[in-house]
Amino acid sequence: MKAVVITHPGGPEVLHIEERPIPAYGPDEVLIKVHASGINRPDVFQRKGNYPPPAGVPADIPGLEVAGIVAEIGAAVTRLKVGDKICALVSGGGYAEYCNVPEGQCLPVPGNLNFTEAASLPETFFTVWSNVFDRGQLKGDETLLVHGGSSGIGVAAIQMGNTLGHKVFVTAGSDDKCRFCEDLGAAKAINYKTENFADAIKELTGGRGVDVILDMIGGDYTPGNLQSLAEDGRLVLINTMSGKDVQVDLSIVMRRRLTITGSTLRARDTSFKSAIAQNLEKNIWPLVESGKIKPVIYEIFPAEKAAKAHKLMESSEHTGKIILSWK
């Protein structure tokens, strides 16, 4: 099979197509003939050598999500059959023509979507469900602030939050990105380059603050995040792109009874990921099927142009998802 390989740690130019053996699959796994592979920011960190994959995952083939057709099934697979159209969360190896994945991490391709659209869903939807709704416990009429509103994660969080009845505020780095986020359903997008987000949130919530913050920035956003939380609010970290060291006044955590938490999805086991898949299929897939939640694809590249796709992601010009196609 063909695979996009990280030939050595470095810039986008280190990505090359190479021939590799089709991966073996275990009794609980299926082998997918991949039609499209989603690109996520963690793939960029892996390419640079800063995000080693967990044991048992190909170290030099990136890719955390795919969509395609079940080509073969393991002996203990019960639900899926050869020929099924699926999308899946994988721990690596997704930038390839074939990929093995535990059955529990697969979801059906929603009937109204094609493979490139379906490949854009798993990594961000699993991450947002797990961090905003499970860990962050966003519920009732609570409010959400999402940093990086125009990112792949952001477009999933805006749509899932909004469709499930929550007011979603976001930050983004330009007026155009802010407009894009508001068109997608954000109640208000704050251009963090021209406005202090903590001041804006204070004003937008009448001084109350938001209930949950999904943050991929960390660093100097942290004091503003703590100020922006309502009493009993939850700050959920999924990355620290602006730095992991920070000085904050922790007394606010006690005064407002705040929770600071976070997680990384990739290293979690199959049963954890399968439970998220079941929640997504029950709570979110019907909303995708009905068109209330839509994939947001910025650009599709042929797999041979993976370097160009990574270059685009690192430019941060995109809004939504970047996809590789294997056709």
Ligand X SMILES: NC(=O)c1ccc[n+]([C@@H]2O[C@H](COP(=O)([O-])OP(=O)(O)OC[C@H]3O[C@@H](n4cnc5c(N)ncnc54)[C@H](OP(=O)(O)O)[C@@H]3O)[C@@H](O)[C@H]2O)c1
Minimal CA–CA distance to 151: which of 322, 323, 319, 324? 319
Minimal CA–CA distance to 261: which of 207, 218, 201? 218
Of the candidate residues 313, 323, 324, 326, the single one contacting ligand X (CB under 6 A): 313
Q: Find the radius of gyration of the CA atoms of the chain.
A: 19
For the beta carbon of residue 245, count every other beta carbon within 10 angstroms.
Answer: 8
Of the candidate residues 33, 41, 166, 310, the single one contacting ligand X (CB under 6 A): 41
| 216 close to 147: Cβ distance less than 8 angstroms | yes
Of the candidate residues 1, 22, 69, 241, the single one contacting ligand X (CB under 6 A): 241
Nearer to ligand X, 263 or 270 (CB): 263
Conformation bin of residue 168: beta by default, left when phi > 0, alpha when psi is -120 to 50: beta
Q: How far is the CB of 185 from ligand X (least distance, A)?
A: 17
Of the candidate residues 91, 127, 143, 159, the single one contacting ligand X (CB under 6 A): 127
User: Is residue 325 within the footprint of ligand X (CB under 6 A)?
Assistant: no
| 93 close to 22: Cβ distance less than 8 angstroms | no
In the range 257-276, which residues lie near ligand X by CB under 6 A? 263-265
Nearer to ligand X, 70 or 157 (CB): 157
Residue 62 buriedness (CB in 10 A; 0-12 / 13-18 / 19+): buried
Instruction: Please state, in angstroms and as integers, the Cα–Cα distance from residue 149 to each residue in 43, 104, 155, following that order.
Output: 19, 29, 6
Q: How far is the CB of 296 from ligand X (least distance, A)?
A: 10
Of the candidate residues 67, 216, 288, 306, the single one contacting ligand X (CB under 6 A): 216
Instruction: Please tell me the count of residues contacting ligand X according to CB under 6 A.
Output: 25
In the range 43-82, which residues lie near ligand X by CB under 6 A? none
Q: How far is the CB of 46 from ligand X (least distance, A)?
A: 10
For the beta carbon of residue 248, count every other beta carbon within 10 angstroms.
Answer: 14
Nearer to ligand X, 85 or 222 (CB): 222
Q: How far is the CB of 68 from ligand X (least distance, A)?
A: 20
Residue numbers at the binding site for ligand X (CB under 6 A): 40-42, 123-124, 127, 148, 150-153, 172-173, 177, 216-217, 238-239, 241-242, 263-265, 313, 316
